[in-house]
């Protein structure tokens, strides 16, 4: 997925049977099937990577690596979890590896997402509520500060918070993605929520009516 490209729309799979058929077609070497698999999940992989890394360009690189890994490892997918959950796990691992690479190169510098990504949902919001320029600027700044606060968390806390609160996975699914017990997920989630609450106290106070 090149710079500036938007994920293509794809018809969602409606059941486990369709998912198995798609995986089987990919395993048989059907390029159209794998292209559909990518279209189904590329938006999710890019958005997750961008939130975990805080850099859209790095997120695009990671997304390409994720689907390369999916292609190579699809034969090992046993269907014990949803395909989406399995891809989430590959994506989180790739993001973690990228962060370790940054550490080794003394490049652990995380920046807030650029305006285009922070406001990815803004067009729909504008269509529904129609905020003016001042309100749009305020919302962009609020989103930037929320992302900046998220990037101050440890990778473990950030990943569990994004998977649960942003991606909407259950604690059981998050545990599968991260390869940790469900109790560990709940503990990390509680700590991550409290850490975010502390970091966003000023932002909440600014939003209160005077």
Give the rounded distance of the alpha carbon of 8 from its chain centre: 17
Residue 117: pLDDT band (50, 70, 90) is very low
Judge whether 93 lies within some domain. yes
Q: How far is CA 119 from CA 3, 113, 141, 142, in A?
A: 17, 9, 10, 10
Judge whether 147 lies within some domain. no
Question: Which residues does 65 contact at the CB level (< 8 Å), separation at least 6?
Answer: 94
Summarised one tens digit per residue, pLDDT across range 25-47 is 999 999 999 999 999 999 999 99
Structure-model confidence comparison of residues 199 and 112, the more confident one:
199
The pTM is what? 0.74
Judge whether 47 lies within some domain. yes
Summarised one tens digit per residue, pLDDT across range 119-157 is 344 344 444 555 677 777 877 787 788 888 898 999 999
Judge whether 168 lies within some domain. no
Instruction: Tell me the C-alpha distance between 32 and 38, whole Å.
Output: 10
Question: Cα dihedral sign for 196, 118, 44, 152?
Answer: negative
| 160 and 192 Cβ atoms separated by less than 8 Å | yes
Structure letter (DSSP) for residue 164: I
Q: How far is CA 40 from CA 23, 45, 93, 128, in A?
A: 12, 10, 20, 26
Which CATH number goes with the domain that contains 99? 1.10.1740.10
Instruction: Tell me the C-alpha distance between 84 and 61, whole Å.
Output: 19
Judge whether 41 lies within some domain. yes
Instruction: Tell me the C-alpha distance between 69 and 188, whole Å.
Output: 27
Q: How many domains does the chain have?
A: 1
Q: How many CA within 13 A on the CB side of residue 22?
A: 24
Range of the domain at 65: 1-108
Judge whether 151 lies within some domain. no
Judge whether 59 lies within some domain. yes
Structure letter (DSSP) for residue 54: S
Judge whether 134 lies within some domain. no
């Amino acid at each position: 997925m090149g710079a500036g490209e938007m994920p293509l729309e794809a018809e969602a799979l409606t059941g486990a049977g369709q998912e198995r058929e798609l995986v089987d077609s990919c395993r048989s070497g059907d390029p159209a099937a794998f292209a559909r698999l990518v279209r189904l999940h590329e938006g999710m992989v890019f958005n997750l990577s961008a939130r975990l890394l805080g850099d859209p360009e790095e997120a695009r690189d990671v997304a390409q690596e994720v689907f390369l890994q999916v292609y190579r490892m699809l034969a090992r997918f046993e269907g014990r979890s949803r395909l989406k959950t399995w891809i989430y796990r590959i994506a989180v691992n790739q993001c973690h590896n990228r962060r370790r690479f940054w550490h080794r190169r003394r490049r652990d510098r995380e920046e807030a997402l650029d305006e285009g990504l922070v406001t990815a949902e803004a067009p729909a919001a504008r269509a529904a509520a129609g905020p003016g320029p001042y309100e749009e600027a305020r919302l962009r700044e609020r989103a930037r500060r929320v992302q900046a606060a998220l990037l101050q968390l440890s990778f473990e806390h950030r990943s569990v918070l994004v998977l649960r609160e942003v991606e909407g996975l259950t604690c059981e699914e998050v545990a599968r993605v991260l390869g940790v017990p469900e109790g560990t997920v709940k503990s990390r989630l509680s700590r991550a929520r409290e850490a975010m609450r502390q970091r966003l106290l000023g932002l909440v106070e600014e939003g209160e009516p005077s």
